[in-house]
Amino acid sequence: MKLINKKILVISKLVLLFNYALAGEGNFISEDRLLFKISDKVISQEDIGYFDRNIKTLKCLYPDSLTYRYFGEEFVETLSRFQNTDFPSEVKKDLIFKKKLVSLFKLLKYSDSQRLGLSKDLVSLVKESIRVNRCKTDVLFKGELRANFKSLLSLELYLKSRYATSLKGQDSQGDLRQSMDILIESIDKQYQHEFYF
């Protein structure tokens, strides 16, 4: 058993040394900044960039998106603006944005826990809609939807199924916002979060 452990250790050291040699001294293959954690999932600045891309594609595909309507255009613009700045120091100043950002990722985690699958027909329809509507194709990888975009689609489907009746009333936007506020307050209690900045 000790011999196997020694071999694994030697192989691991060689792999690390090889990776270091490829990257070059002092160079990094990838650089990212960890921002916060929700339960066991860490959210990085790169994840924020992916979400920015995804929410814009969702709006292109479906301009009446509940996710987009709830969080609002100002939130998405702020998200885009923070991509090119020192994210943590800017977000510290904007507490409303910070709260919405955490709420959004908690909603995504909650909808993922509901295990709403996307049917093959729906995925095909979304891919065709991306082409027809001339939306950005960076939510695709080798012709398939990226996992983080599927997660956003699952959230949108979850919200549609949950609030379908609320959308039929006269004051649907006010009712929807109030109902989603209650949902988010409940989810906020279920998932703990911790900021790294």
Per-residue pLDDT of the chain (197 residues; tens, 9 = 90+): 555 555 554 555 555 545 554 555 555 455 778 889 999 899 988 898 899 999 999 999 999 899 998 998 999 888 887 766 666 676 777 888 889 999 999 999 999 998 888 899 999 999 999 999 999 999 998 989 999 999 999 999 999 988 877 666 555 666 778 889 999 999 999 999 998 87
Identify any residues that bridge with 34 across adjacent strands, giving them in sequence order.
44
Parse the chain into domains and list their residue ranges.
Answer: 45-195
d(CA 146, CA 157): 17
- DSSP label at residue 115: T
β-bridge mates for residue 43, sequence order: 36
Among residues 74, 113, 105, which one has the least CA distance to residue 188? 105
Q: What is the DSSP letter of 56?
A: H
Structure tokens at 130: 């991306």
- Which SS3 state, helix, strand or coil, does residue 144 take? strand
Identify the DSSP state of 125: H
Structure confidence by residue, pLDDT tens digits, 26-52? 554 557 788 899 998 999 888 988 999
